[in-house]
Structure 1
Amino acid sequence: MTYEETLHYLYNQLPVFQQVGSSAYKPGLGNSEALDVFFDHPHRKYHTIHIAGTNGKGSTSHLLAAILQQSGYKVGLYTSPHLVDFRERIRVNGEVISKEAVMDFTQRYIEPTRNIHPSFFELTMMMAFDYFAACKVDVAVIEVGLGGRLDSTNIITPDLSIITNISFDHVQFLGNTLPEIAKEKAGIIKPNIPVLIGEAEGEIKQVFIDKARCENSPIYFAEDIKPIIHSRLEDSGKWIFESNKYPNLTGELGGFCQEKNAATVLAAIELLQQMNYVIPDKAVYQGFRNVTKLTGLQGRWQRINDIPKVICDTGHNIGGIQYIVRQLNSEKYRTLRIVIGMVNDKDI
C-alpha cells in the first residue's frame, strides 16, 4: 500500500472520533492493555510525562517538548488530533514520523491485532509508543486524547502527571458538571507519582486533592507556585513573562490563554528539575521563543496572513471560545469575518 492507501485503510477500517463522533469512542483500557502486551510494553523503555486537561494541553505538551529538546534530550511527542497530516501526531525532536514508518507499522500489525478490535486512536497511540522505543527517545510527552481515567494513554506510568484545567467538553462521556469532568481527568493521577494542576478552584480543586490523597501522590498547583510575577502581551502578538528565575522571558505563542499555559509549564520545569532532569535556563528561553519551529505546533492564535489579517485558532469548547471572544474584543478591524467548524459532539 502507498502512504495515501495506508491512511485510507486506517480511517476506514478503524472508527475515527473526528469523523464519526461518539461511536468511535471506546471507554476503558482493555484494548490498550492488550496492545501493550502484544508490543511488549514499549512505553516502559523511556521516561514519560502525561498531560490531560480540557484546554491548553496541546500548547503545554509542545512547550515542554521544545524545552526538553533544547536541554539535550531526545524527545518523543504524541498529540491529537492532527490538522493537516496524520504524521503530526507522532514526532521525535520535532520531526514527524516518516511515511515509511507509518506504512510499515500498519502493514505488519493490522492483521495480528485485528482480534483486539482497536479503535483508530488506540492503534495510532501504540504506533507512537512503538516508534518512540525504536527511536530510543529519552523522554516522551504524551497528551491525553479524551478525558483521562479511561483514555487509552492511561496505561503509562509517567514521571509527572499534568492537568491543565477543567471546562465543559465531551459531556456525553465525561459528565454534565465540572466536578464530574474533573474526576475523569483526575484518573491520570497514579500512585506515588507527582501531579501538577495548572488551574483549579473550589470543588474542582478539591476533586484533585482528594484523588491525590487516595493515590498517595504529591500534588502541586501552578497558582500556588506562582512562577510568573507579571506578564504583558506585546503588539507583535508575543508574550513577555517576568519571573524571578526567568526575567524577560519571550513566549512565541499568542493568545490570552498562553499566560496560564506558560505558568503551568514553568511550574512543571521546576518539578522536573527536582527529579534530576537537567534543564538549563537557556533551554527554557529557547523553547518558549521557538516552540513552533522546534515542534511544528500550529493553530494557537496563529497569524497566517497580514493583509488582510487572518488568524487561525483551534479553540473548540466553552473555555477555549471564551478566550477567543476576549481576544477578538481587543482587536481593531472594520469588518470581522469568521469561518467556524466543529465535530458533531459540540454544543453549537
Structure 2
Amino acid sequence: MNYQETVDYLYQQLPMFTRVGASAFKKDLHNTIELCKQLGDPQHKFKSIHVAGTNGKGSTSHMLAALFQQAGYKTGLYTSPHLLDFRERIRINGEMVSKEFVVAFVEQMQPAIESLEPSFFELTVAMAFQYFALEQVDIAIIEVGLGGRLDSTNIITPELSVITNISYDHMHILGNTLPEIASEKAGIIKANVPVVIAQTQSEIESVFIDKAAFLGAPIHFADQEWLIQETEFAQGQLKLGLQHTHSGDMKTIRTDLSGQYQMKNIMGVLSAWKILQKAGWELPEQTVLTALSHVKKLTGLRGRWETVAHDPLTIFDVGHNEAGITEIVQQLQHMVYRHLHIVTGFVKDKEVNKVLPLFPTAATYYFCKAQLPRAMDQQELAELAQQHGLRGHAYETVQQAFQTAKQQAHKDDIVLVCGSFFIVAEVM
C-alpha cells in the first residue's frame, strides 16, 4: 500500500471515535498494552510529559513542546485529532512523521491489527510511541485523547502530569458530574510524579488533592502560584504580566496564541516549567519567553483563535463544548466589529442544547454538517438553534456555509468558524 491507501485503510478498517463516536472507545488498556508489547514496549524508552483536560490540553501540549524545542531538546509531540493531515498527530521538533514510517508501521502491524482489532486511536498511539523510541527523542509531550484513566496514552510513566481544566464533555463515557469527569482525568496522576492542575475549580479540587495524596504525587495548582497583573491584546498577540505568588518574581509573557483563554494554559505551562527546571531540565527563562512567542512556528499549532484573513476579520477556533464556547463568547466581548457571522456545526453526541444558549443572539448563523457519520444534521441544528433565538440558514456543506458567510459579510464584520474540529478542518 502507498501512503494514501494506508491512511484510507486505517480510516475504513479501524473504529474511529471522531467518525463514529462511543462505539470506537475501548474501556480498557488491553489492546494498547498488547500492541506495544509486540513492539518491545517503546513507551518505556523515552521520557514524557502527559497532558489531560477538557479544554486547553492541545494548546498546553504545543506550548510545552515549544519550550523543549527552543531549548535544543529533540522533542516528540503526540496530539489528536488532526485538522488536515493524519501525520499532524505525530511530530518531532514540529516536523510531521514521514509517510514512509506510517506505511511501514501499518504493514509491520498487519497481523496484530487482524488478531486484536484495535481502534484507530489505539494503533495511532502505538505508532507514535514506536516512532519516538526509534528516533530517540529526549522527551515527548503526550496529549490524552479522551478522559485519562482508560485513555490509550495512559501506559506511560511521565516526568510530569498536567491537567488543564474540567468541564462537561463526552459525558456518555466519562460521567455526568464534574467530580466523575475529574476522577477520570485524574487517572493520569502517577505515584511520586508531580502533577500541575492549571485551574482551581472548587467543586473538584479535592478529587485531585486526594488522588495525588494517595499516590504521593506532589500537586501544584498553577493559578494559585501565579497572579495575573496585566493583560494586553494587540496584533494577534497576547501579552501577560504575571507575578509568582511565592517569590514575587514578575514575568512578562508575549505569545502568538491570541485567545484570551490561553491565560489559564500559560499559567499551567509556567508552573510545569518551574518543576522541570528543578528536576534538572535546562530550560533557561529567555528560552521559555522566546518559545512562548513562537509556538505556532515551532510546533505547527492551528485552529486556536486563529486569524486567517482581514476585511472581514476571519477567525477559526476549534472550541466545541460548553467551556470552549463560553471562552469564545467572552473573547468576542473584547472585539470591535459591525456584525458577527458564525459558521457552525456539531457532532451528535455533544450536549448541543447546553451549548446553543451560550451563543450571541445578535449574530447571523450558517449551520452546516461536517462529512462524517457522527455529524449532526444541519437542518436539525438550525431548528434547535431557532428555539434559542439564533437566526440563520442551513447549508448542505461546510464550504457552502463558509463561502456564503464571506460573501454576506461587510469588511468591518467578523466571520467566525467554530463548533467542531471537523468544521474548522473542512473550511481549511
Same fold (TM over 0.5): yes
What is the CA deviation profile of residues 123-182 of structure 1, one whole-angstrom value per residue up to 9, with x for unaligned ones? 011100001111110000000000001101000000100101100000000111101100
Shift of 1:219: 0.9
Greater mean deviation of Cα atoms: 180-189 or 239-248: 239-248
Judge conservation of contact 1:105–1:127 (CA < 8 Å) in 2: yes
Unaligned runs of 5+ in 2: 244-248, 353-428
Letter of the structure 2 residue corresponding to residue 230 of structure 1: Q
Residue aligning to 1:256: 260
Greater mean deviation of Cα atoms: 12-21 or 196-205: 196-205
Letter of the structure 1 residue corresponding to residue 26 of structure 2: K
Residues 1-348 of structure 1 aligned to structure 2 (within 5 Å): 1-226=1-226, 228-244=227-243, 245=249, 247-348=251-352
Shift of 1:344: 2.3
TM-score (norm 2): 0.79
Letter of the structure 2 residue corresponding to residue 178 of structure 1: L
Letter of the structure 2 residue corresponding to residue 61 of structure 1: S
Letter of the structure 2 residue corresponding to residue 250 of structure 1: R
Runs of 4+ aligned residues of structure 1 deviating over 4 Å after TM superposition are none
- Helix, strand or coil at the partner of 1:259: helix
Letter of the structure 2 residue corresponding to residue 289 of structure 1: S
Judge conservation of contact 2:14–2:119 (CA < 8 Å) in 1: yes
Judge conservation of contact 2:178–2:204 (CA < 8 Å) in 1: yes
Judge conservation of contact 2:233–2:258 (CA < 8 Å) in 1: no
Judge conservation of contact 1:231–1:239 (CA < 8 Å) in 2: no
Greater mean deviation of Cα atoms: 323-332 or 179-188: 323-332
Q: Following the alignment from structure 1 to structure 2, what is the Cα–Cα distance between the partners of residues 130 and 341?
A: 35
- Helix, strand or coil at the partner of 1:104: helix
- Helix, strand or coil at the partner of 1:141: strand
Shift of 1:229: 3.8
Shift of 1:79: 0.2
Shift of 1:246: 6.1
Judge conservation of contact 1:246–1:281 (CA < 8 Å) in 2: no
Q: Following the alignment from structure 2 to structure 1, what is the Cα–Cα distance between the partners of residues 122 and 55?
A: 21
RMSD of the alignment, in Å?
A: 1.2
Shift of 1:328: 1.6
- Helix, strand or coil at the partner of 2:193: coil
Greater mean deviation of Cα atoms: 293-302 or 108-117: 108-117
Structure 1 or 2: larger strand share?
A: 2
Q: Following the alignment from structure 1 to structure 2, what is the Cα–Cα distance between the partners of residues 64 and 219?
A: 18
- Structure label with greater radius of gyration: 2
Judge conservation of contact 1:73–1:138 (CA < 8 Å) in 2: yes
Distance 1:243 1:333, change over 3 A: closer
Greater mean deviation of Cα atoms: 245-254 or 290-299: 245-254
Judge conservation of contact 2:223–2:264 (CA < 8 Å) in 1: no
Judge conservation of contact 1:157–1:190 (CA < 8 Å) in 2: yes
Judge conservation of contact 2:193–2:217 (CA < 8 Å) in 1: yes
Judge conservation of contact 2:35–2:112 (CA < 8 Å) in 1: no
Shift of 1:247: 3.3
Letter of the structure 2 residue corresponding to residue 122 of structure 1: E
Greater mean deviation of Cα atoms: 139-148 or 28-37: 28-37
Unaligned runs of 5+ in 1: none
- Helix, strand or coil at the partner of 1:124: helix
